[in-house]
Structure 1
Amino acid sequence: MFEITELNKLLKAHQISPTKRFGQNFLINANIVGKIARSLGNTTNRNILEIGPGLGVLTISLLQKDINSLTVVEVDRKFIPILEEIKANTSKAFHLVNADALKVVEEEIISGNYTIVSNLPYNIGSLLLVKWLKKMDFVDEIIIMLQKEVADRVLAEVATAEYGRLSVLAQYICHCEKLFDVEPENFFPAPKVYSSVIKLVPKTPKIELARIENIEKACKAAFNLRRKKIKTSLKPILSNPEEELMKIGIDFNKRAEELTVDEFDKISYIM
């Protein structure tokens, strides 16, 4: 691990303390940082997007790889001087954006396709992931650290408690894989929960946005009333759920969590 005394010196020098509203927990284990960077494999000619770089620990590791460019988006101004210093000490193409990642239009700050690598703030992790899932025309790969509970929802199998809208969206659009879990003691301050690093690779051919939006509408209707049978929950999007579901071979007495990703896909075509 990094020496906590060194971390404290850095925080003190820049008058920084973790901000709860930004979901800040600083990753302090160099081995975990290296493991995330190595998960990228060959990065030659790749543009990397990092969200919430904070103290720049992962940023420095990414800059040590053979990449085309690195763009970092940081909402908290107190980290900007540290990131500016990192920028001044690298010969790589380094773009620093002080903005809210939820509001940024990625295609406007990055030229060409990009790979997302990030230790995401807990409070906006799932919101950012849903945003990116709708932008897969531009994304080559996503490797992110999330709260383990959110990662479990992404990877959840049908008919489990964790299975829901996020599971269906992610698995419909991408090949999803857990890389490893990260214990709370690898952060400062230590969170009360575990984290997981996951990898998402867009399926080929990439799914059209119109299909994704239909899947999302179907998921919203079904999972908003997840304890109801789909003959009831899908009434907002189907004029005659029982008849229409029978035609495509889906049991209308199923509940949302019993529908496979393929079945949600079928439903999206009859909406």
Structure 2
Amino acid sequence: MAFGVCTSALAAQRASPLHGAYLHVDDVADSGTYYIYRYRVVNAPDSRGGLAMFSVDVSAPRGTGFATLPATGGFDHGAGYPQVDLTRFKDHVQVGPISPPNWRAILGRGATLAWYGDHGGFEGDIDSIAPGDSLSGVALRSPYLLGIRRSWGVPTFKSCCTEPRPATASREAEHPQSSEFELESWTVGPSAHPGGLNLTIIRADLQQVCGALRWIADGAVCGPLQATLARAAAAAQRGDRSAATDALRGFVDALDAQHGPGKPVNDNAYWLLKVNGEYLLTHM
């Protein structure tokens, strides 16, 4: 799933050099106390510049708080500094970033967890992801279950912003900011589910996965998966726990059968639906 169209006013005149970037879920593992989300970040081959920063939404409903887990690598947590005004911060799920060498994580007021190159160069011009290249070793820890999350990518300064805007009567010539060329997409990340995870949420996620996200693009696979979840929901509604469990187990088994190289269920869809489905199997 590529990042969407850049929507800044400047972008109406100059397109983002990023033609596609992916925060791709490679694996989600249960440590017993929290989940470990492992990602691979990919810059599309037809991009015209490096990917300098990428981020994922980790916001949560008001009242959730600002707790974190231990981080691996450099980490700046805005809400964790003494005497900050927490009313200016959005609550976030509990999270602990894991960063590869020469990359650093930051979690600021807007509850987006971002990684950026912190070793040499300006705006990621040295530590960045080149077109057609990828970065592994990016991960996070969180006790929260999976959900569909927004993500963003920002290009290097060199690839977008070395040409200044012309001066006008009201301002001097100035360079644009790399963030003006950020592109938005969707990934999987830790999410708050008020009221608890249930079959209604999993069915809604599957609808998005088979619809606009196209993480499962084959309708011949989506149809049976949706029908199986519908049977599970109907059984649960009439209080038939055994039938609901059997249907949900069949759903998870079908995901396993349709996931892998050359198969229609991509990694984002697989981990989202499998982990949440297995969680419900043990809590029905």
- TM-score normalised by L of structure 1: 0.30
Q: Which has the higher contact order (CA 8 A, sep 6+)?
A: 2
Higher helix share: 1
Higher strand share: 2
